[in-house]
Structure 1
Amino acid sequence: MPLDGPSLVKALGPDAGAGLETVHCTLCRREAPAFQRAAKRGDDLLVACTQESRLFLELNEQTVGAPGLAERPIRFVNIRETGGWSKDAALATPKIAALIALAQLPDADPVPTVEYTSNGRVLVIGPTDRAVRAAAMLADTLQVSLLLQGPGTLPQARTVPVHAGRVTGISGWLGAFEVSWETSNPIDLDLCTRCNACIRACPEQAIDFSYQIDLAKCSSHRDCVKVCDAAGAIDFQRDAQAVSERFDLVLDLNPAPLISLHQPPQGYFHAADDQALIGAVLELRDSTGAFEKPRFFQYQQRICAHSRNEKIGCTACIDVCSARAIRSDASAKGKAGGLALPGIIVEPHLCVGCGACTTVCPSGAISYAAPRIDHQGRRIKTLLTTYQRAGGKDAALLVHSQGGGASLIGELGRSAQVDAAVHGVPARCLPLDVWHTASVGMELWLSAIAYGASQVLVLMTGEEAPDYRRAVAAQMAVAQAIVNGLGFPGQHFGLLDARDVPSLDAALRIASPGITLRPAKFAVPADKRTALEFAVEHLRVESAAAVDAIALPRQASPFGSLLIDTQKCTMCLSCVGACPSAALADNPAKLQLRFIEKNCVQCGLCASTCPEQAITLQPRLLLADEGRTRKESRVLNEGQPYRCIRCSKPFGTLQAIELMVTKLGMHPMFQGAAADRLRMCGDCRVIDIHSSSSEVRITDV
C-alpha cells in the first residue's frame, strides 16, 4: 500500500506528525526493532496495524526499559483494509491521516458498571434425550437441573434434579432468572425411584424411561398405581401444580426459543441443534463468577416525554427496545425533589447497549453514555477536519459496528487486494467504529454534515434487530428532509444493508451529492437537543435557500408546532401542565396560551391530555416566522375572562363557561335560579344558595 510520509506529517500537524519522519512499511516483522527503540524511549505509541497487535504488546513487555501498558498504553489503528487495500489506494492519504488522528484521541471517560453474579446453577429445558446429553456436558462444572419437555430416556442414576412440565414464564438475567412451570403429570419425579415397575405394568406402553405418562395413550386401568404403591409416586387425582424457582443460567433446547427476543438476556442460551449446543455449552462453562458490563445509558426523568398524569405521550424508546429492557412507569411512582415524575424504567441488567432508545428519544431524556455524544462528536470532528486539511473532498462518514461491521470491512479490504473486480473501501469513505450502529443518531449525523461531510452512511450487517433498521431509517428521513429543505440537494444519508463483500462493495459506490460547506467550529455538547440546535443553525447560516419552514415526516420528528382548534379550545390550560419540555406556557397577565417551538419535542402529551381534543401536532422545522424565530414565545390562542353575573369578578374563561352552560343547561337540576348560578363565581354561588334557602324557610314559617 502506498504511504506518503511527508504528506501525513503535514496533514497531522507538527506535534501529531513528529514521529512520522520515517514510514515503516513492514513494521510487524522486519522492522520490529524500530518499535522496540520507540518503546524504550517511552514515546506515545500508535501502531497502524491491528493484525499483529499481540506481537507488539509482547515486544513491549520484553523490551528492557520500556514502560508497561499501565503507564503508557499502546494504541492500534487499521489503515490497511480500510484505506490502503483499495483501488483508491493512491488517493487514500487524507483518509489515512484522518484515521491516525482519530486513533490518537484520548479514550472516553469511564462509566458506571452493571454487575452480575452467577453461582453456576443452570436449568436445562427441552426434550429429554437432548437435555440429558447437555447435562452430561455441564455437570462437572455447573449445578444442573433438568426441566423435561416430552418423552425420552433418563439415566437410572439420580445425578441431577429432574422436573417435568409446561413452562409458563421465564424472566430475569444472568444470576437472577425466575422460571415458572406447571406440572400436571400423574408421576411425581421427586418421589419416583425409577424402579421401572410402572413401565412393565402398563399395557398401553404409555410410560417410557422419561418416567412420565403419555395421557393420550393411557386408559383407566391404573395398573401402574397398584405397582407403585410403596413409593406412592403416581396419583391421577393430583391437581396441577405451579412451580417457580430461581436459576443463574438457562439453556433452552426447544426448537422455538422460550424467549423470542432479538436480544435475549445475558445468561440465556438457545440451542435448537447440536452445533449450537456445543457453542452454548462452551459459554455456559465460563459463566460462573462475578461479571460486569458498562451502564450504557443515562436517564433524566425530569425531561422525559413519556407520560404526565397517567396520560401516555412518547413511547419511542419502549417500542424500539429489542431486549425489552424498558417499560412504562406512567403510574407516577418515581420521585424527584418531592414531586411525582412518571416516566420509564430501564433495567440495566437487560440493556445490551444498542443505543436505539437514545437515537429515537426526541427530548434527550435517555442518552448514550458509553461514550457520550460529546465524545463521539469530537471523534467525528477530528476525522473530518483532518481529512479536509489533508486535501480530501466529498467525505462520506461510514458508521459501522465494532463487531460485524468491522469484520465485513476487513473482508472487503482483503478481497480488493487480490480480486481485480472488487473496488474496496473508497478513499472518501471514512470509517467510524461504534459499539452499535443504532447508538448514533440525528444530532451526530447533522453535526457531521456541518463539519463538512457530504454524506453519512450507516452500515448494518444483519446483527441488528429489524426495529433498529426501521428506527434509523425513520430518523434518516427526518435528517434528509432538513438538509434538502435547506437547499442542499442530493442523498446525504444512507442506510447500507450489506451481508457480504459484493453487496458492501456495491453499496459503498453511492454517488456523492457534492455538498460544499464552511466547516463548523462548534463542539458537539453532551445534550442532544442543544447538539441538534447547533447543527441546524450552522446549516441554516450556510444555506442560500429562503425558506421559512420545512415540513418533516410525521414519524420520528423531534421538531414541530401545534395547531389549536380555537372553536374547541376552552383555555383550560391542562396542556401547559402536561408539557414536559416547557414548550407550552400561560401568561400571568393575560388569558393566553403561549408556545416556544424550539422546545417542542412532538411527544403528543398535550394532545392526549386536552379534554376537548383541540390540539393537533404539526411536524416541521421553523426557520423564520414574520421576523420571529423558533426560539421566541408566540400566542397560540387567547381568550376573554368570564365575569360573575352577580359581582363582576372574573372567575373563568368565556369559552369554558359557555361550554359548561351548554352541556348542563338541559339538565333538570340546572333550571331557573340554578342555571344562573352556573354563571356565578364560587363565593357568589354559595351566597345565592344560602339566601335562597333562608327565603324558603321564612315562607314555610
Structure 2
Amino acid sequence: MQEFIYYNPNGLDFPISEEIFVTSNLEDGAKSDFLISNSPLIKSELTAKEVDFYIKNSKDSLSNKIENVSTLYEIAATKYDLSQDISYNQELNNEVLLIANNEEEYKVFVEKTLDEDFNLFYITTDILKSISGHIGNLSVVVDDEGKDVTLNVSQIVWFDAKEEGLKQSGTFDPSLSSLDEVIKQLKDNIENYEYRKFITYDSSICQYHERREEICSRCEDVCPTVAITKDDKTKTLSFSMVDCLGCGGCISICPSGSLEYTPMSRTSIYEVSKFYSGKIPLIIPNKMNMENLSIDLKENVLPFAIDGEKFLDESMFITIAQESGSQVIFYSDFLSKGTRNAIEILNQIYQKKYSKDAVIVAANEEELSEALKEVALIENSRFTFNHTSSRKREIFAIRLKHIVGDEDLGTVTTGEFVHYGKIQVKEENCTLCLSCVGACNVDALVADARDNTLRINSSLCTSCGYCLVTCPEADCISIESDVIHLNKTWFTEEILAQDELFACVECGKEFATTKAINKIAAIMSPLFASNPVKQRTLYCCEDCKAKLMIKQGLLDA
C-alpha cells in the first residue's frame, strides 16, 4: 500500500517519485487510507500543506523540486511517527448558558436559534459571580437575590466576555467573530468535540514542583487559559488538556525542559532537522496559512511546517540552525516570551561567532520577502549529534560548546524570561554540607567524592536560585544572573569548594568534612566545657559518639 498521495484536479506538470501516488480524481483518495496527503480533501493521517506551498512558490531547479517534494513527504511522515499527541473526545449535552448585557442581546440569540437546538439558560452579566470547569462540564455561580446558585452547563455564550471567562474552554464571545459563527461552533461541538494532549510533564526536573519556596511557575504565568494551574500549598502543577490551546508558550519558557510539546518534541525537531542539511529552513506555523501565501522562495529554501507558534526554545532553534548549517527564517506574526528571548540569545551568539543572525524573524509578507533575500547558509556552522532523550539544557550546552570551541567570545545576556547564570561560592564559608547539590534537580551542582569537591557545570544551570535558598550558611552562595560566558570553562565542571575529610578521634573512620566538624565544635564546645567526654564526642563518628555517651552514663551511674 502506498503511504503518500498527491492530489490536484489540474494534475502536476512535472514528475515526482513513484512512492507518491499522483491523482487528479478526488475519488481515488477515498479508495484507500493514506498516511500523508497534500490536500485536506484527501482522507489521510496528516495533511502536508507545505508540499503545495513549495511547488507553487519555489524557484528550485526541476531536479531539485522532484527531490524536495519527496523530502517534504518524508519529513511529514517523520513528524507523524514521532508525534506523541493523543486525541480525546468530550461528550457535550445541549445545555447552553447565555450571558448578555441586556434583553436585546438575548432576543437576537433566540431569534437566530429559535431555541430549538439548545436547552437555553439566560442570565445578565451583573449577577454572574464565577465560572469554573471546562467545556462539557462548566459550573457557573450566580447571585439569586443574595443566594449563590450554581448552574451546570456544557457551553457558554457571553457577549463582550471578560478575560477570565474566555480562559475557560467552552466560552464563546460573538463580538470576537459573529453570532452565526458562534452558533455553528456550539452545534458542531455538541455533535463531536475533540481535543488533543499537547504537552507532557516531567515533575522530577520541574523548578516549581514540591519546592519549599516558589522559584518558578513561568508556565502557569504565560498560559492564556486555565490549562495550567498551581497549588501554592503543595507546590504542584495541574494540567487540563481539554483547556489547552496547544500554543506551546509554556514549552519555550520552561527553564529545565520539564515540559515537552507532543506534536513535535525536541527529538522530533532533531530528526526532522536532519532533512535540512545544506538547505535553508523556513519555519511556518499553521496559523500563518501558508496555502494563501504567494511569495518567491529562492533556490534551496525548504518550508519547515510546525503546529503551534510559541513552543520553539533555544535548544530547538540551535538544532535547526546547526543541522542545516544555515540561517533560519521564522515566519510568525507573534513571538511568545520564551521564543523571543531564545532568538535574542542565539542571535547574540551567532553574531559573535559568525557575524550573522541565526534566526531572522518575519512578521508579515513584506518582511518575509526581505528575509528570503538575506538568508543564507553559514560556512562551517553545521554540526550534528544524536541528542535523543537529552534534556533541553544538555542539548543547548553541547551545541553551544561546538560553536565556542577553544575561543573566548565574551559574554551574552539572557532574560527577562529565559535565564542562564553562574553560581559562585565563598569557599571560606562553605562547609560542603551539600544541601545545594540536593536542591539542584538539573545536575548543574554535583559533589565529587574522589577529591571532596563541590562543582558546578554552569551550562546546565537554570539560575533558579533554589540552591541559594537551601544553603544553611550565611553569605556563601551568590548567582551571576542572566549571562552566558562563551568560553570553554562554561561547559566543564568548575570547583567551587573543597575540604579534607575529618577522621574520628576514636576509630579513625573519615565521616565528615573538617570545616563542618570544626564549625559544630565551635558552637557546642562552650556548652560542654565542664564535660570532657561530651567535648570529645564532637569529634567522633556516629557509632563512637554513642559508645562514649553510654560509657559516660554508666560511669555517672
| TM-score category (smaller protein) | 0.7 to 0.9
TM-superposition CA deviations, 1:491-528 (whole Å, max 9, x none):
22233333xx445444x356346621274454562544
Conserved? CA contact 1:310–1:330, under 8 Å: no
Match of 2:245 in 1: 352
Q: CA deviation at 1:183?
A: 2.9
Conserved? CA contact 1:490–1:513, under 8 Å: no
Asked if 1:145 corresponds to 2:121, the answer is yes
**Secondary structure of 2:310 counterpart:** helix
Within 5 Å, give how 1:164-313 maps onto structure 2. 165=127, 167-184=128-145, 240-253=146-159, 255-259=160-164, 264-272=167-175, 276-313=178-215
Letter in 2 for 1:269: F
2:308 and 2:385 mapped to 1: Cα distance? 25
- The unaligned stretches of length 5 or more in structure 2 are 40-48
Within 5 Å, give how 1:613-692 maps onto structure 2. 614-618=476-480, 619-620=483-484, 624-625=488-489, 630=491, 633-640=493-500, 653=513, 655-656=515-516, 670=527, 673=530, 680-681=537-538
**Secondary structure of 1:475 counterpart:** helix
TM-superposition CA deviations, 1:270-327 (whole Å, max 9, x none):
2337x63222122112221443222112222223233454233343323332224223
Conserved? CA contact 1:558–1:602, under 8 Å: yes
User: Which has a greater percent of helix?
Assistant: 2
Conserved? CA contact 1:252–1:258, under 8 Å: no
**Secondary structure of 2:464 counterpart:** coil
**Secondary structure of 1:433 counterpart:** strand
Q: What is the total number of aligned residue pairs between the two structures?
A: 531
2:155 and 2:13 mapped to 1: Cα distance? 48
Letter in 1 for 2:239: V
Match of 1:317 in 2: 219
1:180 and 1:96 mapped to 2: Cα distance? 60
Letter in 2 for 1:572: C
Asked if 1:70 corresponds to 2:33, the answer is yes
Conserved? CA contact 1:406–1:433, under 8 Å: no
**Secondary structure of 1:349 counterpart:** helix
1:554 and 1:502 mapped to 2: Cα distance? 29
TM-superposition CA deviations, 1:199-239 (whole Å, max 9, x none):
xxxxxxxxxxxxxxxxxxxxxxxxxxxxxxxxxxxxxxxxx
Give the direction of change, closer, same or farther, for the CA distance of 1:549–1:652 in structure 2 (3 Å limit): farther
Letter in 2 for 1:401: P
Give the direction of change, closer, same or farther, for the CA distance of 1:272–1:559 in structure 2 (3 Å limit): closer
CA RMSD, 1 decimal:
4.3
Conserved? CA contact 1:102–1:379, under 8 Å: no
Match of 2:44 in 1: none
Give the direction of change, closer, same or farther, for the CA distance of 1:585–1:470 in structure 2 (3 Å limit): closer
Conserved? CA contact 1:405–1:460, under 8 Å: no
Within 5 Å, give how 1:410-559 maps onto structure 2. 410-413=292-295, 424-427=296-299, 429-461=301-333, 464=334, 468-485=335-352, 487-498=353-364, 501-506=365-370, 508=371, 511-512=374-375, 515-517=378-380, 519-520=382-383, 522-523=385-386, 525-529=388-392, 531-533=395-397, 535-536=399-400, 538-540=402-404, 546-547=407-408, 550-555=411-416
Match of 1:370 in 2: 263
Match of 1:224 in 2: none
Q: CA deviation at 1:575?
A: 0.9
Give the direction of change, closer, same or farther, for the CA distance of 1:674–1:484 in structure 2 (3 Å limit): farther
Identity %: 18
Question: 1:406 is matched with which residue: 287, 290, 297?
Answer: 290
Q: CA deviation at 1:174?
A: 1.2
Superposition TM-score, scaled by structure 1 size? 0.64
- The unaligned stretches of length 5 or more in structure 1 are 1-18, 48-54, 62-66, 151-164, 185-239, 333-341, 388-394, 414-423
Conserved? CA contact 2:98–2:156, under 8 Å: yes
1:677 and 1:343 mapped to 2: Cα distance? 44
Give the direction of change, closer, same or farther, for the CA distance of 1:80–1:287 in structure 2 (3 Å limit): closer
1:517 and 1:112 mapped to 2: Cα distance? 40
Give the direction of change, closer, same or farther, for the CA distance of 1:521–1:99 in structure 2 (3 Å limit): farther
Superposition TM-score, scaled by structure 2 size? 0.79
**Secondary structure of 1:312 counterpart:** coil
